[in-house]
Structure 1
Amino acid sequence: MLRAGGTAADAAVAAVLATCVAETVYTGLGGGGFATYFDAATGAVTCLDFFVAVPGTDGDRVAGPMLAVDVFFGGVPQVYSIGGASVAVPGVPVGCGEVHRRWGRLPWADLVAPALELARTGVALPPAHARTLDACAPALAHGEGAAVYSHRGKLLQGGDLLFHPGLATAMAALAAEGPALFHTGSYAPLLVEAVRAAGGALGPRDLADYRVLETPVDRATLAGHQVRARHDLSRTVDTIAALPGDLPVLPRPARAVAVAAALRDRGRQKIGDTTNVSVVDTDGNACVITTTMGLGAAVWLPGLGVNLNSMLGEGELITDGLAPGVRMSSNMCPLVVIDDEGALAVAAGSAGASRIRTALVDTLIGVLVDGVDMPTAIARPRFHVVDDTVHAEPGYPRDELAALADAGWRINGWPELNHYFGGVTAVGVGGAAGDPRRDGVGLLL
């Protein structure tokens, strides 16, 4: 899209739609997300919310029970719920459409074309995605998903073909009819029928009334740079603002203790089936889009290869005040970093549920404080704090772990780099990179 003269928004939207084919372990057209856009000419930062909303505004249905499934993560079983009652109002198609409307310049159909081609052929499943699939199979490979994510009774492995029958039909319709296809377009009745047949409460009014929202932009200073992003459930920007001002000159062990204290995560460590795209164009504009469908509800649009989100079955997203029509909260935090001259320094986002904040903070410290390049900052070992325990990847500096232990933290060493610790993709002064934990890539054109 960039080579064709498109903007960062064009490229980001096209990439997101491609992930709805190639990364359906993490995301899809039936999910929701957020976008952050930096306009280089004006310095303006805009955050858009197209995350899922609570259904039920039609008032003519009461959702039935959800189906509980056990998913093992870090060796510990965690209960999630799927089924029609777990489906919230999706936002990915109209969210992508709004990003394109505001900041794109290529034709909409051109942005859908790569996803359509991938849907026709299928894609090789990356090994990291296969490992996620293995953990999430009770939800993803349930019901109709079994035929998609397994072959002859065996889950897909890295390198196997991931193919969604009917998804090419859905993508072709999205290209022809536009972003409103699933909300007020020809597929809206099909979506309602599928969810209600599975016991959900989603109705026509829920879809027709859904809107992409513009949200306030938080800001914090790190190493002389301004970090700007939405106010997420984990308070990423607030965490950065709470870091010690002398962080750049603290000895690394002392810094680790300070960062751990800021990142303390009270008991939330659910799986994060999320993906992120970060793009910067030649004009210096940036577009970062993070999307997810949770584990997937195992409710598929008949003949279209589209799995719907399971957000109402994600325990950590159930907050006070949820009612029909209310937008749900999320840990997702696509962000931009601006230098002291007002130019873009970093555009980044991450997957990983409650570890999104951890992964982003660690990456920004790597690039802005330690001065390492983007691939190094993203790939180096991380730690994440839950209650009084520091979960650390192999290779994390021993002297820093010792300082954390001396400060009273329990240390839990993991045997390998793991998708548990997030999935950052970023472009900036240190280059472009994707997270090896999720087979991410970075490209400089």
Structure 2
Amino acid sequence: MDRHPTPPAGVLGERAMVATGHPLAAQAAADVLREGGSAVDAAVAADAVLGVVEPMATSIGGDLLAMVVPPDGAPLSYNGTGRAPAALDPAQIEALPGRRIPERHPLSVTVPGAVRGWHDLHRRFGRLPWARLLEAAIGAAEQGFPVAPVAAREWRLFEPVLQRDPVCASLFRAGRVPRAGEVFCNPELAATLRSIAQDGPEAYYRGTPARAAAQAVQALGGVLAAEDFAVHSGHFCAPVLARFRGLTVLECPPNTHGVAVLHALQALEDRPLDPEAPDSHVAMVHAMREALQHARKTVADPAGNTVCTVVVDADGLAISLMSSVFKRFGSGIAVPGCGFVLQNRGFGFAAPGELNGAAPSRRPYHTVVPGAALKDGRFHAALGVVGGAMQPQGQVQLFVRTAAWGQPLQAAIDAPRWRLESDTALAAEEGVPEAVRAALRQAGYAEPAGMGELGGRSDFGGAQMVMRLPDGRLAGGTDPRKDGQALAV
């Protein structure tokens, strides 16, 4: 894996900082900040761009969650996750194999929450006009953009998903997927975004996209209806929290599995964690395994794909905003004429009758976990680590490296990671010391093989993080495993 040229401490800045998954998204956010926009404005602008340039990871067909830390006042989390269709009949699920919705199935489609989430966040924390926030995304979709290397690799790897639906195959060029550096345009998405910019979220939730999405899903045997879009809402709420090495760590409450981060950190709080001691790494994995067991009692496979943008503005407002279509290219069902795929979060439901069982208008277990941390009651860091079940695991490893071991931000992001694929299977990234690797195998964690769509090619995630340093400056870090960039503004 090519390592990022960013210095170990990360990109340093005096006023404002952006860390996000693509240079075009970083530039969009930076431009918004320079024009006087807030951190929330910048994060929305970046996320809209990410939905254009990383269609396998996110889009307006997916969900959104955010963690917001004002410079003065209580932190807030935002839950923009969508619900199952009102017409979902548990009897339909009972007849499916294992009494579970398959990962890519018409019944797996839940209402997308991203567009409503952008608008709710902007209404509360925005400064610039709403339409301004979507300009860069519209331009990228209409005029085209060069496909980035990691996005091109995933596009090719998940090409079979595109081939299942003729509309999706045509939209995302199944059979001739774009190579790295090749320009890709999505004029249908540009037109959809332009209508949202002009008329607000109602253009999406009560307009053509809602009707076309419902028709596409119903034609394949699903039950998503236009009315499901019309009644969608997100909400702000207080985050859940835990103490770790002088920090107050903040996570979104359920239906996300952010609580797994807190459980693991609480288990590690009083342990002597030595970066050179293999048994410390084993203790981290044990704590993470138990935390994931707690969080996924009713879910078999919380793997997915996500994007993350972290912004801190000159006034000190900070946000970690994450959006996702869940599996790569979501359900694989594209909305005709609108330029995007629908998410497949319904795969996160358990069997009917269980705590997280599939039911009408219910939100499923969710993997997206934007996080933040306070120090002495003030903003210290905001972060996200994309990659389904890697999200809480990556956060725990970053918090241990930065807060317990004192590693510089970018060095902590670059460091090799481990990833639990199940309670007994653990992947170790290249660069994990052999002594640590041997201790993990001796502790009973086997090398994963042939598991899931990646077939053992474990995804070690992609982190974006901004941290306030003791001298008041901001450090921004972005993951070399993705196509991202950190920019000081």
- Equivalences, count: 428
Give SS of 1:154's match: coil
Partner of 2:42: 11
- Which 10-residue stretch deviates more, 20-29 or 199-208? 199-208
> Which residue, 122, 131, 137 being the options, matches 1:115?
137
CA–CA distance in structure 2, aligned partners of residues 388 and 300 of structure 1: 36
> Which residue, 448, 461, 465 being the options, matches 1:422?
461
Give SS of 1:276's match: strand
Q: Deviations over 1:27-46 (max 9, x none)?
A: 1101112111001112x111
CA–CA distance in structure 1, aligned partners of residues 390 and 226 of structure 2: 35
Partner of 2:334: 300
CA–CA distance in structure 1, aligned partners of residues 407 and 486 of structure 2: 16
Whether the 8 Å CA contact 2:38–2:125 is kept in 1: the answer is yes
Whether the 8 Å CA contact 1:80–1:314 is kept in 2: the answer is no
Partner of 1:402: 438
- Which 10-residue stretch deviates more, 28-37 or 306-315? 306-315
CA–CA distance in structure 2, aligned partners of residues 237 and 121 of structure 1: 43
CA–CA distance in structure 1, aligned partners of residues 275 and 338 of structure 2: 54
Q: Deviations over 1:125-148 (max 9, x none)?
A: 221122222332222343222233
Whether the 8 Å CA contact 2:55–2:340 is kept in 1: the answer is no
Distance 1:393 1:315, change over 3 A: farther
Give SS of 1:333's match: coil
Whether the 8 Å CA contact 2:257–2:392 is kept in 1: the answer is no
CA–CA distance in structure 1, aligned partners of residues 229 and 41 of structure 2: 25
How far off is 1:389 after superposition? 2.9
The AA in structure 2 aligned to 1:220 is A
**Structure ranking higher on relative contact order (CA contacts 8 Å, 6+ apart):** 2
The AA in structure 1 aligned to 2:411 is T
Partner of 1:352: 387
- Which 10-residue stretch deviates more, 187-196 or 285-294? 187-196
Whether the 8 Å CA contact 1:133–1:140 is kept in 2: the answer is no
Whether the 8 Å CA contact 2:102–2:347 is kept in 1: the answer is yes
Partner of 2:77: 47
Whether the 8 Å CA contact 1:84–1:200 is kept in 2: the answer is yes
Give SS of 1:182's match: helix
Q: Deviations over 1:261-304 (max 9, x none)?
A: 01115696664221111111111111111111123223222222
CA–CA distance in structure 1, aligned partners of residues 304 and 261 of structure 2: 16
Distance 1:161 1:336, change over 3 A: same
The AA in structure 1 aligned to 2:183 is L
CA–CA distance in structure 2, aligned partners of residues 138 and 262 of structure 1: 36
Q: Does 1:99 align with 2:99?
A: no
Whether the 8 Å CA contact 1:263–1:384 is kept in 2: the answer is no
Partner of 2:18: none
Matches within 5 A, 1:78-89: 81-89=103-111
How far off is 1:398 after superposition? 2.1
Q: Does 1:182 align with 2:214?
A: no
Question: Which segments of 5 or more consecutive residues in structure 1 lack a partner in the other structure?
Answer: 68-78
How far off is 1:247 after superposition? 3.9
CA–CA distance in structure 1, aligned partners of residues 151 and 71 of structure 2: 34
Q: Does 1:150 align with 2:184?
A: no
Whether the 8 Å CA contact 1:55–1:89 is kept in 2: the answer is yes
> Which residue, 353, 368, 373 being the options, matches 1:337?
373
Whether the 8 Å CA contact 1:299–1:308 is kept in 2: the answer is yes
Whether the 8 Å CA contact 1:317–1:329 is kept in 2: the answer is no
How far off is 1:316 after superposition? 7.4
How far off is 1:57 after superposition? 4.6
CA–CA distance in structure 2, aligned partners of residues 271 and 161 of structure 1: 29
Give SS of 1:387's match: coil
Whether the 8 Å CA contact 1:62–1:201 is kept in 2: the answer is no
What percent of counterpart residues are identical?
Answer: 28
How far off is 1:26 after superposition? 0.3
> Which residue, 378, 400, 403 being the options, matches 2:413?
378
Relative to its length, the structure with more strand (as a share) is 1
Whether the 8 Å CA contact 2:75–2:238 is kept in 1: the answer is no
Distance 1:406 1:176, change over 3 A: same
Distance 1:7 1:25, change over 3 A: same
CA–CA distance in structure 1, aligned partners of residues 267 and 281 of structure 2: 14
The AA in structure 1 aligned to 2:263 is D
CA–CA distance in structure 2, aligned partners of residues 93 and 66 of structure 1: 31
Partner of 2:310: 278
CA–CA distance in structure 1, aligned partners of residues 201 and 87 of structure 2: 22
CA root-mean-square deviation? 3.0
Distance 1:6 1:58, change over 3 A: same
Q: TM-score, normalised by structure 1?
A: 0.88
CA–CA distance in structure 1, aligned partners of residues 92 and 195 of structure 2: 31
CA–CA distance in structure 2, aligned partners of residues 258 and 89 of structure 1: 39
Q: Deviations over 1:4-37 (max 9, x none)?
A: 1111111111111111111111011011121110
Q: Does 1:435 align with 2:479?
A: yes
How far off is 1:321 after superposition? 3.3
Q: Deviations over 1:149-208 (max 9, x none)?
A: 337x33322222232231111111010011232213454333322322232211233222
Question: Which segments of 5 or more consecutive residues in structure 2 lack a partner in the other structure?
Answer: 1-31, 294-298, 451-455, 470-474
How far off is 1:434 after superposition? 1.9
Q: TM-score, normalised by structure 2?
A: 0.80
> Which residue, 30, 33, 36 being the options, matches 1:2?
33
Q: Does 1:227 align with 2:257?
A: no
The AA in structure 2 aligned to 1:280 is V
